[in-house]
Amino acid sequence: MDALKDIYLAVWWTVSAWPKKVKKRLSGIGEAVRDLLPKVINELVSQSWTVFGLLVGWVVLPDGDTRNFVGTVLLWLCVAWLVTMPLRISRED
């Protein structure tokens, strides 16, 4: 139990010794995550229907060129969605 107390005190001392700029920057990151989280969840739900439709199409299709094409489209759709998310979600919204 003393080891946990020592770790807690060491962490507390380290954080309390940080300059105010670092503390302010860390709190700003927390605020940004809190503000963007609902937007990211909304994007995820909106995009999930498209991904779900392509996934069902990929599962239902027989093996062949069409199934490979749908799988490739599904993969690139997910990549493009992740890469362009910062463009769609801005802090001004």
Q: Where are the domains of the chain?
A: 2-88
For the cut 60, the answer to whether the pLDDT of residue 8 exceeds it is yes
At residue 24, the pLDDT reads: 66
Q: Take residue 88 and report the two structure tokens written for it.
A: 């769609």
Helices 65-88 and 20-60: crossing angle, nearest 10°?
Answer: 160
Query: Residue 80: which pLDDT band, with cuts at 50, 70 and 90?
Result: confident
Task: Please tell me the distance from the alpha carbon of residue 47 to that of residue 7, in angstroms, as a whole number.
Answer: 43
The pLDDT value recorded for residue 23 is: 61
Q: Tell me the chain's radius of gyration from C-alpha atoms.
A: 22
What pLDDT, in 10s, does the model give residues 22-53?
A: 666 666 777 777 777 787 777 777 778 888 88
Calculate the average pLDDT of the chain: 76
